[in-house]
Structure 1
Amino acid sequence: MPTPRSRWLALAVLATSMLMTILDGSIVTVAMPTIQTDLGFSPTGLSWVVNAYLIAFGSLLLLAGRLGDLLGRKRLFLAGVAVFTAASLLAGAATTPAILLLARFLQGVGAALATAVSLGILVTLFTEPRDRGRAIAVFSFTGAAGASIGQVLGGILTDALTWNWIFYINLPIGLAALVLAGYAVPADRGVGLAAGADVPGAALVTAGLVTGILAVVTIEDAPSAVTLGLGGLAAALLVGFVARQATARTPLMPLRIFRVRAVAGANLVQVLLLAACFSFQVLVALYLQQVLGYGATGTGLAMLPAALAIAVVSLGVSARLNARFGERAVLLAGLVLLMGALGLLARLPVRADYVTDLLPVMLLVAGFGLALPALTALGMSGAKADDAGLASGLFNTTQQVGMALGVAVLATLAAARTDRLRAAGVTEAAALTEGYRLAFAVGTGLLVAAFVVAYLTLRQPASVPDGPARSAATASA
């Protein structure tokens, strides 16, 4: 049995790994102009510095979660951190676009292996409701605030050193995580490949997610026929995957997990929530740079109050509120605050004053620090011990899908609105602002939909059929 000290050390390792992978998704954005100049990327090719990571990360999460159940979650976590760390070294040393893109894809593979099993490890380590609530709050904070921290750190490293250091910084972190995880994370044997080695199902879901994410990230650049074709192929592959899971003797993703209202509802809410909130992260940064003229470091610092507000709420009060009022009530309250934040952004002026127009938004984003820990507890509720990795992989997969869809769709809406206004003779700043305002209004609508789904589906967390396991939500309510 792990000691209390080793459990909290294990949480620190899991949270650090999570922070490292989330940072890597955002830290690169502020360095992309420098990377383009140094390595000779074309404007279209440059987007694949982000897309290569996103495709590998998002498409492998579900498969990685199940492999954790079969082969052992600690083993898969260590493998993921090792792959991610080695790929970071390759990325930092890249001298051509091809090498950097290969390294970014491998980083995504490592991130998927480590992230997919992290929640599964966490919920098996912390079984007491109050401790589990605190642990989930810490873990959720690293994901919620990581993108903001990444933008600040990326700007500082790029300005003070070179872009290579946005990747090299992962080396000491990754090596320390490997050493500490070997000591603090308890070993588990897994149930063995024979218990769920659904190779056809794995091929279908991985191909379907790769194709679907590829369709999303090419919306802006590819012809509409290509995007629609990729989307149709992705849908066909995922339908085939569901059909396979309904008939396979050892399914990769037992469909019984979706019979748990809390699990199914929480994953749908997460897609809507992340689609709205990750677009906030990206589009506000673009507004600050393209309309208000902020630099890379200034943009990161301007976004910092949001990260601090999330930290105070998620680490300071969310666990106590969840224990007192229940995860559902706290989630709904967080969604209301986020609606207020995006609603204010939908009225953003062209010449905004940071203190009066943007700082209130950054503070209202604290609602994310309420919503995400509660949603994470609900998303993991009812999972059997043998399915903890599966539930973790599923929850992380819907997280990536939500972020990818939100950025692609809302950024496309903003760009289309801006182009129409430019053609009508509107000034550049005004056209950009109107485009962002439309995106934020749509994002507000997504949060309203998330609120309705949460209200209707997350009434009573239940256990997974054929293997009840008490959820954090049920135990602490």
Structure 2
Amino acid sequence: MTEAATTSAVLAHRWKILGVVCLVQFMLMVDDTVVNVALPSIQSDLGFAPASLPWVVNAYILAFGGLLVAAGRVGDRVGLVRTFVAGTAVFALASLVCGVAQEPWQLVAARFVQGIGSALVSPTVLGLITVVFRDPGERGRAFGIWGGVAVTGGLSGVVLGGLITGLLEWRWVFFINLPVAGVALVLLPVLARGVAAGRRSVRIGLVGPVLLTGAVAATVYGLLGFADGAVGRSVGFLGLAAVLFVGFFVSEKRGSVPLVPAGLLGSGARVAALVAGVLATGALFGTFFTLTLQLQRSLGFGPVLAGLAYMPFAVGSFVSIKVGAALGARVLPQRLLLLGLVVVAVGGLLLVWGVVVGSYLALVPGLVVFGFGISSVLPVTAQLAVAGVGAGDAGVAGGLVTSAQQLGGAVGLAVAGVLLGGGGERHSAALVGAVVLAVVGAGVSLRARGESALGG
């Protein structure tokens, strides 16, 4: 098949391809939150000790966060479609093992494998969007849909988790992944048959991936320790992360097989977009964590009702997708990024006001505005971070974007955990921390306007 024919075949199915990869992205985001809701039932049924129960979540986080960039590079070598299919299959099989687990160690091990599968999928989703959508306007719209799906998937997990554990049992939070993965495994290889198979010239060394995987995992685990109040653990792991990052950068500079292409992080605008993504995601995770506590502890909402309470956020997110599609062709992404972060900060301040008032109705305006802002920011950070990247580097670029978001989540939880205080009741202070992250992100985003190449 010629390159022209390949392009024509792929473009004809580009929106269907987007639908399939977004379906899997939705599944991954739902799984992130639905498991958290099911933890009490899991502990009771499998006999988890209180100290070991967090590893149901941590095992997934460490595998996922640590392997993203390396998995993206694998996608560049063996092909984005092959990597997506392999990752989806691994995630589905691990979900099945999670659902039938009879011992705590079995569930933790399967969650680690789930994280590996998710790490293979997430960067290739962004890589496929980058490769399949050639027109800048369409690509921006596609990233907007991806961002909206990711955010609403996380919200849906809270509601689904409560319904599934209440009406069925916790094992079904894993079994629901199987039909979604099955649909994707059948459809994507057919729809994306014309996507390049990968570049055998892309070499993958061993030292770089090992060092970066360890550095990211240690950073995430160390930051989460602040949210848990384990300051000593956090300092130790962050120190280890610093050493590993230094080792990684030295190996990248001196080694013959760098994991990240030299020119990929040579763009100050791209780096600014990635940092802005870290801060925006931090604001999102910190806000969700704080509001969930506020809704359940202060306002007395149960898990399902607390999930439904985020519906105004979903409305704001949906409107953001529509508005973003209209503005994407007229406004530079750099300006949309700055504007979106300002809106996030304003939404955060409205939420602070709602918490001080102490009623759910007072939170609704902030939820709408915050949802609108964050759902416009995350797609634009991804769009800017992969702009100008060739098809052969789309996977590793997607890995950088997703790693930034994973680190941002850990940063947001750490900030919220510290500001909430020992009793976990300083909700307004924690929300102010999220606002500060958004404001700093807005300042960083000013650097992203420096290179016009990233506008399209």
Aligned pairs for 1:329-348 (under 5 A) are 329-348=335-354
Instruction: Summarize deviations over 1:262-294 as a string: whole Å, max 9, x none.
Output: 211100001111111111112211211111111
Following superposition, the deviation at residue 220 of structure 1 comes to 4.8
- Does residue 1:359 correspond to 2:364, yes or no? yes
**Secondary structure in 2 matching 1:183:** helix
Instruction: Summarize deviations over 1:14-55 as a string: whole Å, max 9, x none.
Output: 111111111111111222122221122222222222111111
Following superposition, the deviation at residue 171 of structure 1 comes to 0.5
**Secondary structure in 1 matching 2:51:** helix
2:49 maps to 42
Following superposition, the deviation at residue 312 of structure 1 comes to 2.5
Asked if structure 2 preserves the Cα contact closer than 8 Å seen for 1:260 and 1:382, the reply is: no
Distance across 1 between alignment mates of 2:332 and 2:357: 41
Asked if structure 1 preserves the Cα contact closer than 8 Å seen for 2:224 and 2:234, the reply is: no
1:219 maps to 226
Residue 118 of structure 1, aligned match among 104, 116, 125: 125
**Matching residue's letter, 1:411:** G
Asked if structure 2 preserves the Cα contact closer than 8 Å seen for 1:318 and 1:373, the reply is: no
Describe the shift of the 1:103–1:398 C-alpha distance in structure 2 as closer, same or farther (beyond 3 A).
Answer: same
- Does residue 1:247 correspond to 2:254, yes or no? yes
Distance across 1 between alignment mates of 2:253 and 2:24: 34
Residue 104 of structure 1, aligned match among 101, 111, 116: 111
1:427 maps to none
Seq. identity, %: 36
Asked if structure 1 preserves the Cα contact closer than 8 Å seen for 2:289 and 2:416, the reply is: no
1:428 maps to none
Following superposition, the deviation at residue 4 of structure 1 comes to 4.1
Residue 92 of structure 1, aligned match among 94, 99, 102: 99
Distance across 1 between alignment mates of 2:12 and 2:315: 27
**Secondary structure in 2 matching 1:189:** coil
The TM-score with structure 2 as length reference comes to 0.94
1:466 maps to none
Distance across 2 between alignment mates of 1:124 and 1:256: 19
Residue 411 of structure 1, aligned match among 407, 417, 424: 417
The TM-score with structure 1 as length reference comes to 0.90
Asked if structure 2 preserves the Cα contact closer than 8 Å seen for 1:65 and 1:392, the reply is: yes
Please give the root-mean-square deviation of Cα atoms over the aligned residues, in Å: 1.7
**Secondary structure in 2 matching 1:347:** helix
Following superposition, the deviation at residue 347 of structure 1 comes to 3.4
Distance across 1 between alignment mates of 2:397 and 2:31: 24
1:450 maps to 441
Asked if structure 2 preserves the Cα contact closer than 8 Å seen for 1:65 and 1:389, the reply is: yes
Residue 299 of structure 1, aligned match among 301, 306, 316: 306
1:195 maps to 202
**Matching residue's letter, 1:216:** L
1:381 maps to 387
Moved more, 404-413 or 112-121: 404-413
Asked if structure 2 preserves the Cα contact closer than 8 Å seen for 1:318 and 1:369, the reply is: no
**Secondary structure in 1 matching 2:388:** coil
Instruction: Summarize deviations over 1:39-84 as a string: whole Å, max 9, x none.
Output: 2222222222211111111110000011111111111111100000
Describe the shift of the 1:330–1:32 C-alpha distance in structure 2 as closer, same or farther (beyond 3 A).
Answer: same
**Matching residue's letter, 1:190:** G
Following superposition, the deviation at residue 350 of structure 1 comes to 6.2
Residue 402 of structure 1, aligned match among 384, 389, 408: 408
Asked if structure 2 preserves the Cα contact closer than 8 Å seen for 1:338 and 1:364, the reply is: yes
Distance across 2 between alignment mates of 1:40 and 1:212: 29
Asked if structure 1 preserves the Cα contact closer than 8 Å seen for 2:283 and 2:434, the reply is: yes
Following superposition, the deviation at residue 225 of structure 1 comes to 3.4
Asked if structure 2 preserves the Cα contact closer than 8 Å seen for 1:263 and 1:382, the reply is: no
1:152 maps to 159
Poorly superposed stretches of 4+, deviation over 6 Å? none
Describe the shift of the 1:274–1:86 C-alpha distance in structure 2 as closer, same or farther (beyond 3 A).
Answer: same
Following superposition, the deviation at residue 5 of structure 1 comes to 4.2
Following superposition, the deviation at residue 85 of structure 1 comes to 0.4
1:424 maps to none
**Secondary structure in 2 matching 1:219:** helix
**Secondary structure in 2 matching 1:210:** helix
Residue 318 of structure 1, aligned match among 319, 324, 339: 324
- Does residue 1:262 correspond to 2:253, yes or no? no
Describe the shift of the 1:86–1:144 C-alpha distance in structure 2 as closer, same or farther (beyond 3 A).
Answer: same
Distance across 1 between alignment mates of 2:281 and 2:57: 18
Distance across 1 between alignment mates of 2:356 and 2:101: 40
Moved more, 181-190 or 159-168: 181-190
Asked if structure 2 preserves the Cα contact closer than 8 Å seen for 1:322 and 1:374, the reply is: no
Distance across 2 between alignment mates of 1:100 and 1:257: 38
Distance across 2 between alignment mates of 1:178 and 1:389: 19
Distance across 2 between alignment mates of 1:333 and 1:302: 26
Distance across 2 between alignment mates of 1:404 and 1:304: 24
